[in-house]
């Protein structure tokens, strides 16, 4: 009975996702069509139309590229990689965006030699998603702490802690559903995609949040 429930749950997620994709992509396409029709009719202000069209196309591209990271990675992409270096690289990539928002990122790699069997690029994508969310939740600047520490030699716990708005309890269960976003220009795909990638790595994600901020923990098996 338990299996069955899981299966039907999966189906409904796939259904939800399909309906969401159709909806999210139809909106920009409708807008593009409308502007093309106006242009065909010879209406002035074409320059504005081009920029709307191009930003709508960019939106479709963003949605598709996030969805594409869901495609199951072939197993031979998995390598033993140092988790500390992965995190350092991700922090280097996101630091300038953080600085722009008056945010400082501190990293604590407590155990330097921890490797995980992973698709490095996909794992980086996950940490970038979480750090971007942390930045977007901190409207008045502050600190983000990224840490990694082994947990009894079998797994590594990576934490991304922010001092942002936090997530209201009643919203927590919505987080990670496809297209759930509270942001004007959000896609609501980052967390869902990240969960999937971590699942493919036999890991887990936990969210702890209160009005002082949010901590995302990613737990991954140590490989060697
Ligand atoms: P998006 O960032 O496009 O909105 P995500 O799936 O990355 O989509 O996040 C979904 C929602 O979860 C966000 O819109 C936001 O409301 C909430 N959220 C995620 N991370 C955080 C965080 N660190 N602090 C506060 N809210 C967050
Ligand atoms: Mg996001």
Where b means 16+ CB within 10 Å and e means fewer, 39-67 reads eeeeeeeeeebeeebeebeebbeebeebb
DSSP tag of 135 = H
Ligand 1 pocket member 215 (CB < 6 A)? no
The pLDDT assigned to 1 comes to 44
The pLDDT assigned to 84 comes to 97
Below-70 pLDDT ranges, the chain: 1-13, 45, 72-76
Ligand 1 pocket member 193 (CB < 6 A)? no
Ligand 1 pocket member 205 (CB < 6 A)? no
The pLDDT assigned to 88 comes to 96
The pLDDT assigned to 108 comes to 97
Q: What tokens appear for 74 in the block?
A: 């072939």
pTM over 0.80: yes
Ligand 1 pocket member 142 (CB < 6 A)? no
The pLDDT assigned to 76 comes to 67
Query: Parallel, antiparallel, or unpaired for β 213-221 and 204-210?
Result: antiparallel
Q: How far is the CA of 34 from the centre of ligand 1 (A)?
A: 31
The neighbour count for residue 100, using CB atoms within 10 Å, is 9
Task: Give the ipTM.
Answer: 0.99
């Amino acid at each position: 009975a338990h299996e069955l429930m899981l299966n039907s749950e999966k189906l409904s997620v796939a259904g939800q996702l399909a309906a969401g994709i159709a909806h999210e992509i139809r909106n920009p396409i409708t807008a593009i069509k409308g502007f093309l029709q106006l242009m065909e009719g010879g209406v002035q202000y074409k320059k504005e139309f081009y920029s709307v069209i191009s930003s709508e196309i960019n939106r479709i591209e963003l949605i598709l590229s996030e969805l594409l990271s869901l495609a199951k990675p072939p197993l031979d992409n998995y390598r033993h990689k140092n988790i500390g270096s992965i995190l350092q690289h991700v922090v280097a990539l996101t630091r300038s965006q953080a600085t722009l928002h008056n945010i400082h990122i501190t990293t604590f790699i407590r155990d330097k030699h921890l490797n995980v069997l992973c698709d490095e690029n996909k794992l980086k994508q996950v940490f970038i998603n979480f750090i971007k969310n942390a930045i977007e939740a901190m409207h008045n600047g502050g600190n983000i702490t990224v840490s990694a520490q082994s947990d009894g030699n079998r797994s590594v716990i990576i934490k991304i802690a922010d001092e942002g708005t936090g997530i209201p309890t009643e919203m927590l269960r919505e987080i990670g559903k496809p297209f759930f976003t509270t942001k004007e220009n959000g896609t609501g795909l980052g967390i869902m995609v990240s969960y999937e990638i971590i699942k493919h790595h036999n890991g887990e994600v936990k969210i702890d949040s209160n009005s002082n901020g949010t901590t995302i923990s990613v737990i991954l098996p140590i490989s060697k």
